[in-house]
Structure 1
């Protein structure tokens, strides 16, 4: 009986909490770069030229599937984060 009450209260609490907006792929990339103390130059020749890297990091260019795969390998995460 108490277990059901606690489960019900937890469920009600969770439903009332605001859900965060999903982050854009370039925001995830920026966060991972910051966490790994990386700069844009560190990604040059891995996902593209200096200009391409700048556009990707700043959200002016979408991340391609091949770039997502490379970034996933670099940061040890799922490529789905970048697509």
Structure 2
């Protein structure tokens, strides 16, 4: 890694990026909604490809959303798997009712923690339940 960072080039690029995307620590509910929309656009662009160039931004925006939700939405700490179980219970769903994830066997592996849902599955679950994709990440 290059220990010398050229701030003369970095700072103008950062300003341009920040102004174009508004990706920064979330300030308020309106900014939170914009970041949730940004996450959805990035997930659409990645189309489930774990190696897509948008994956770095997906991680950053997801972390920003998670940080804001932890401070302002006061939900109990839950993993993506716990959130999915809760949503399944609230909607009266069984493992076979989640074709977004895959077969009953794949759903079982996700619910048991043996497998993490991929980006495509996260996006589909987010859309189905009307929650932020960060819920399952």
TM-score > 0.5, shorter chain as reference? yes
Q: Aligned pair count?
A: 64
Runs of 4+ in structure 1 deviating by more than 6 angstroms, as ranges, are none
Show the counterpart of 1:72: 126
Which of the pair has more CA radius of gyration?
Answer: 1
Structure 1 residues 1-83: aligned runs within 5 Å: 22-43=77-98, 45-83=99-137
Structure 2: gaps spanning 5 or more residues: 1-73
SS class of match (1:80): helix
CA–CA distance in structure 2, aligned partners of residues 47 and 62 of structure 1: 10
CA–CA distance in structure 2, aligned partners of residues 20 and 76 of structure 1: 16
Structure 1: gaps spanning 5 or more residues: 1-18
- Normalising by structure 1, we get a TM-score of 0.69
Q: Deviation string for 1:38-59 (max 9, x for gaps)?
A: 110101x321122111111222
CA–CA distance in structure 2, aligned partners of residues 21 and 74 of structure 1: 22
